[in-house]
Structures are given as structure tokens and as C-alpha cells.
Amino acid sequence: MAAKKKAWMMVATVVAAVILAGCSTQVKRVGVEEVKDISGTWNDTDSRLVSEEMIRDSLSGSTGWIDRYGMTSKKAPAVIIGNIRNLSQEHINTNTFVNDLERAFVNSGRVDVVASKSERGDIREERADMDLNAAEASRKEMGKEAGADFMLIGSINTIIDASDSEQVRFYQVDLTLVSLSDNRKVWNGQKKLKKDIKNAKFR
């Protein structure tokens, strides 16, 4: 009887181990450019497509805003990142594609980027600390910040058409560079994305 009980306990242990193994988290590394649409909502592929389009359009010679500014000012334009409004029904982290665009500006050598309003606080705090504690030769003075020539602003809008378990989700991302001296819009970038989702479980 004891042997039989012991055998059943061993079987139960094996079954439990199999069940736990089936429920354990499994992770597979994939390439960052591999398209993986799971929920149908905004994802990393959408962000990448937006950043690629905006980088290509804003730095291309066809728009000409960089060259026009350089001809009159004899220097590279300085851009500051403003408010990118998410007007969609989803939570969308706009920093992912905006940071890509900012990086492309800096690495191109044709556009300067100055610290945003949210970034300047830490920098000014460090500069104030240097004023008290750093050697004079390495101290950075207050009041010598580079001003921006243009501000990048924009928005994300969505349109959702749904019937039963099917949805069509349309995204439109608009980015604009506005002259801080006279409010002229010198560049308008736009990217549209559309998804047809079957068996949608969200609205």
C-alpha cells in the first residue's frame, strides 16, 4: 500500500512539474525591425515607420528649410522640442520617434538641437553648483545658453471604424517646425498608418 501511495505521489509530482513548465514565462529575442503586431494598437513598428518618414522628409533637400535658413543666417538652425500632443484614444509614447528625429538632426551636422524645457532644470542646477565649486578655468557662466530658432510641435490623431469584431484603425502623425522669431511654419511632416484588425477585442 505504501509503495502504491509513493508511486501516486511521484506521478503527481511529475504532472505538477509539467504544468508549471507549461505556464512558465518564455522569452525569445527578435530583431528590433521585425514586425510583431499582437494587439493591433500602436507599437514599436508604428514608431519606427513614423521616425523614418520624418527623418527622411525633414533632412531632404526637397523641403529646403535648412538651406534657406543657412543662406540668410550663415549658421545651422537650432531646434527645440516642444509639445507633441497625443489626441488619440490610446496611450502613445511620443518620445520614441521624437528622440529618433532629434538624434538624426544632431548626427547630420546640419541642425543643432538645444535642451528642452524639461531638460534645462538639471543643467542649470549643475551650472549653479559649478559657479560655487568648480575651478574658474572650467566654470561655465550663467546667461550664455544657446537660443532656439525653431520649435518642433505636433500631434497624433486616430480614427477608429469598428463593426462586430473587426476594426480599421487609422493614425495620422503631424509634426511642424515653427520659427520662434515670427511664427512661420517652415516644415510640415506627416505620416499616416492604417491597420485592419480581425477579431478585435477592444474598442
Using alpha carbons, select from 190, 192, 196, 143 the residue that is nearest to residue 169: 196
Give 87-140 pLDDT, tens digit per residue: 998 999 999 999 999 999 999 999 999 999 889 999 999 999 998 999 989 988
Give 11-48 pLDDT, tens digit per residue: 667 666 656 656 678 888 877 777 777 788 999 999 99
Residue 54, pLDDT above cutoff 70: yes
> How confident is the model over 65-70, as a mean pLDDT?
92
Cβ distance 174 to 190 under 8 Å?
yes
Q: What is the pTM of this model?
A: 0.81
pLDDT number for residue 18: 58
Residue 173, pLDDT above cutoff 90: yes
Pairing of strands 78-86, 112-113: parallel
pLDDT number for residue 165: 84
Using alpha carbons, select from 131, 47, 116, 42 the residue that is nearest to residue 83: 116
> How confident is the model over 131-151, as a mean pLDDT?
91
Neighbour-count burial of 101, counting CB atoms closer than 10 A to its CB (0-12 exposed, 13-18 middle, 19+ buried): buried
Residue 1, pLDDT above cutoff 60: no
| pLDDT higher at 4 or 53 | 53
Q: 42-197 architecture in CATH? A: 3-Layer(aba) Sandwich (3.40)
- Of the pLDDT bands very low, low, confident and very high (cuts 50, 70, 90), residue 154 is very high
Q: What is the DSSP string of 31-45?
A: -TTS---SSSSS-HH
Residue 83, pLDDT above cutoff 90: yes
From residue 47, give the alpha-carbon distance in Å to each of 8, 158, 168: 54, 14, 18
- Cell triple for 13: 509530482
pLDDT number for residue 162: 87
How far apart are the C-alpha atoms of 20 and 160, rounded to whole Å?
Answer: 40
Using alpha carbons, select from 148, 70, 77 the residue that is nearest to residue 114: 148
- Cell triple for 47: 514608431
Please tell me the least confidently modeled range out of 6-15, 85-94, 148-157, 178-187. 6-15
